[in-house]
Amino acid sequence: MAEQLEEFPVRAKKSKYGKWMDGQVWRINWREEMDNTNVENARSSLYATAASMGMRLRTQADGDDHVIVQSYKAQEDKGL
pTM of the model: 0.73
d(CA 15, CA 18): 5
Gyration radius (Cα) of the chain, Å: 14
Q: Which residue has the higher pLDDT, 76 or 59?
A: 59
State mean pLDDT over 13-38.
Answer: 86
* Residue 64 DSSP class: T
Is 65 within 8 Å of 42 (Cβ atoms)? no
pLDDT (tens digit per residue) in 6-25: 887 766 556 678 899 999 99
* Percent above pLDDT 90 for the chain: 44
